[in-house]
């Protein structure tokens, strides 16, 4: 392997080296960081923003942004819990309606961006405010407690498997792996398939790279934007369900500032804010880095406010590196 | 090299598919025109049968080549297989070098014509528009990636020789800065 090829491989996988270095540092300062319960806990924590980051990856790939995902999560939480607890709906029906609502919010975002031409940051910021308000209105600002979701996606499978093998010790885990982490892995696999193996993925890259050329080459750019924002809404909705299943209580204040964590994961994973560049494997690394960083800081008794400062710095550095490399290419 | 008649010059200079069709229809019926018709049919057909009109299939394949250039090393086998497919689709193995050279240049020119749009090469989710100079540099990078870059990376320089040459020549005419940038990228 010559020097150039080595550098290319190194650059493409540098994010994983950062992840390993981070793990090593936290493990050095606190050996319990690498304990099985902590790893299980990290995988549980990262699951819902891992799921949401898939939709955000698609959006950022077309040089857009979705600031409404935190509010979608809160609204899905509240609507699903409201339908189940206050109206007595069946769990599956409540989940289905909640996720459909999340997709519709995504379609609304797509309509504002693609058809009306509102800049994505403004359109989705408006959605963020509107739907956070809806969540407050529906819940009256109060939590809806006592929601029991039997890990919806795998509920049937888990119940079936529980009766057969001892390895399935509890409803929340398959062996040592939390079910929400399994859902995240499946979503990442699906996201990776869409990006690398489907024509839609190719369209996402094309639109992010050169929108006008994409239009001339036959891609229906506006329709694609609808689809991408709808997908972002879908993954945010799914993340909301996973969060609800974890917390057992719906809160209209859930996931405030969540979109910035997700954007940090995605940009840290090498997805360019200019669009057209990025890989799902990088996003996985970004999610793991942020999850480990949060867990490591908690274990080192770093205050919540300091954690916010660190996360903000990570976002600034990640975007800064992206902008700097673009500037260097252009100069 | 690659000299053509006046009428053909007009045909290859035109970017609008409908106008090109008109010129093509006015050409005398012979073997060369038949080949040009085959090229036209291949280029402006909806190969995916999605009911779209005036699709520039070759432009799409240019974009695909650029995306394939950016693919990670772990997917190289799949990538190289797709590049080989595109080489066949774009007549790169054909012997009508003169016509192909000009058709490829026309494709490159059509791509470059999109590089002046407001949101091309913009930064920060479209909030910061690129300067003219930045757009030219980015266009050079795009053209290099979809021609010499992918040919080198996939090890098909011989097969893509005409494609690379025509894209390079078109780029050199696009802006005086392009030659320097192209040569820098080629190193």
Chain A environment of B52 (Cβ under 8 Å): 218, 220
String of b and e for B96-135 (b: at least 16 CB within 10 Å)? eeebbbbbbbbbbbbbbebbeeeebbbbbbbeeebeeebb
**Per-residue pLDDT tens digits for A150-168:** 655 555 555 555 555 444 4
pLDDT of A135 reads 95
**Per-residue pLDDT tens digits for A50-72:** 999 999 999 999 999 999 999 99
Query: In Å, how far is A173's CA from the nearest CA of chain B?
Result: 32
CB A121 to CB B125 under 8 A?
Answer: yes
Q: Give the residue on A whose Cα is nearest the Cα of B127.
A: A119
Q: Span A308-322, mean pLDDT?
A: 83
Closest-CA residue to A268 (of A216, A214, A313, A318): A318
Query: What distances in angstroms separate CA A326 from CA A177, A178, A322, A329, B141, one per listed residue?
Result: 39, 39, 6, 5, 12
Domain spans of chain B, in order of start: 6-186
Q: Span A181-199, mean pLDDT?
A: 92
| A208 in Cβ contact with A63 (< 8 Å) | yes
**Per-residue pLDDT tens digits for A107-132:** 999 999 999 999 999 999 999 999 99
Check if the interface score ipTM surpasses 0.95: no
Count other Cβ atoms within 10 Å, centred on residue A40.
16
Domain covering A35-330 assigned CATH 1.10.3470 in the classification:
yes
CB A205 to CB B122 under 8 A?
Answer: no
Domain spans of chain A, in order of start: 35-330
State phi, psi for A178 to the nearest 5 degrees.
-65, 145
- Report how far residue A262's alpha carbon sits from residue A296's, in angstroms, rounded to the nearest whole number: 18
pLDDT at A97 over 90: yes
Query: In Å, how far is A324's CA from the nearest CA of chain B?
Result: 11
Split at pLDDT 50, 70, 90, the class of A149 is low
pLDDT of A113 reads 95
* Least confident piece of the model among A67-81, A236-250, B118-132: B118-132
DSSP string, B129-171: PPPHHHHHHHHHHHHHIIIIIHHHHHT-TTTTHHHHHHHHHHH
- Report how far residue B167's alpha carbon sits from residue B148's, in angstroms, rounded to the nearest whole number: 9
pLDDT of A138 reads 93
CB B120 to CB A65 under 8 A?
Answer: no
pLDDT at B100 over 50: yes
How many H helices and E strands in chain A? 13, 2
State phi, psi for B4 to the nearest 5 degrees.
-140, 165
pLDDT of B125 reads 67
| B97 in Cβ contact with B110 (< 8 Å) | no
pLDDT of A169 reads 45
Q: Give the residue on A whose Cα is nearest the Cα of B132.
A: A330
Query: In Å, how far is A114's CA from the nearest CA of chain B?
Result: 13
| A252 in Cβ contact with A135 (< 8 Å) | yes
* Least confident piece of the model among A123-127, B125-129, B167-171: B125-129
Chain A environment of B48 (Cβ under 8 Å): 199, 218
| B8 in Cβ contact with B102 (< 8 Å) | yes
The three-class DSSP label of residue A173 is strand
The three-class DSSP label of residue B44 is coil
């Amino acid at each position: 392997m010559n020097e150039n090829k080595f550098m290319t491989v190194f650059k493409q996988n540098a994010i994983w080296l950062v992840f390993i270095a981070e793990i090593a540092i936290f493990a050095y300062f606190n050996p319990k960081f690498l304990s099985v319960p902590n790893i299980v806990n990290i995988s549980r924590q990262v699951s819902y923003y891992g799921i949401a980051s898939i939709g955000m990856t698609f959006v950022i790939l077309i040089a857009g942004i979705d600031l409404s995902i935190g509010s979608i999560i809160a609204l899905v939480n509240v609507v699903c819990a409201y339908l189940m607890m206050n109206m007595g709906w069946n769990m599956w029906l409540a989940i289905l309606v909640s996720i459909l609502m999340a997709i519709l919010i995504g379609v609304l975002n797509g309509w504002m961006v693609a058809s009306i031409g509102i800049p994505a940051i403004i359109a989705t910021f408006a959605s963020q405010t509107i739907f956070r308000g809806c969540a407050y209105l529906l819940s009256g600002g109060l939590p809806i407690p006592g929601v029991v979701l039997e890990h919806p996606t795998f509920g049937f499978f888990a119940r079936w498997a529980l009766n057969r093998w001892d390895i399935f010790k509890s409803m929340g885990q398959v062996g040592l792996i939390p079910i929400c982490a399994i859902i995240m892995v499946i979503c990442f696999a699906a996201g990776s398939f869409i990006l690398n193996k489907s024509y839609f993925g190719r369209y996402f890259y094309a639109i992010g790279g050169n929108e006008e050329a994409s239009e001339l080459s036959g891609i229906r750019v506006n329709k694609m934007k609808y689809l991408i924002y709808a997908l972002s809404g879908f993954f945010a909705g799914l993340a909301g369900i996973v969060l609800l299943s974890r917390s057992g209580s719906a809160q209209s204040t859930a996931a405030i500032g969540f979109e910035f964590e997700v954007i940090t994961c995605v940009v840290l994973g090498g997805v360019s804010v200019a669009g057209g560049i990025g890989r799902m494997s990088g996003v996985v690394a970004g999610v793991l880095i942020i999850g480990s960083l949060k867990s490591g800081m908690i274990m080192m008794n770093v205050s919540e406010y300091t954690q916010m400062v660190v996360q903000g710095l990570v976002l600034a550095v990640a975007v800064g590196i992206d902008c700097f490399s673009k500037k260097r290419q252009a100069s | 090299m690659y000299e053509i008649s006046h009428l053909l010059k007009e045909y290859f200079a035109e970017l609008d598919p409908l106008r090109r069709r008109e010129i093509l229809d006015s050409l005398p019926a012979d073997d060369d025109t038949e080949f040009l018709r085959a090229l036209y049919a291949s280029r402006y057909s909806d190969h995916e049968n999605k009911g779209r009109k005036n699709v520039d299939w070759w432009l799409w394949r240019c974009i695909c080549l650029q995306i394939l250039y950016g693919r990670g090393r772990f997917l190289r086998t799949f990538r190289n297989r797709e590049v080989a497919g595109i080489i066949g689709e774009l007549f790169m193995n054909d012997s009508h070098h003169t016509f192909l050279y000009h058709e490829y240049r026309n494709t490159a020119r059509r791509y470059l014509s999109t590089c002046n749009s407001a949101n091309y090469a913009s930064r920060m989710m479209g909030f910061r528009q690129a300067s003219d100079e930045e757009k030219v540099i980015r266009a050079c990078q795009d053209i290099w990636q979809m021609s010499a870059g992918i040919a080198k990376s996939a090890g098909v320089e011989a097969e893509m020789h005409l494609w690379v040459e025509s894209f390079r020549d078109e780029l050199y005419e696009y802006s005086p800065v392009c030659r320097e940038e192209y040569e820098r990228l080629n190193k």
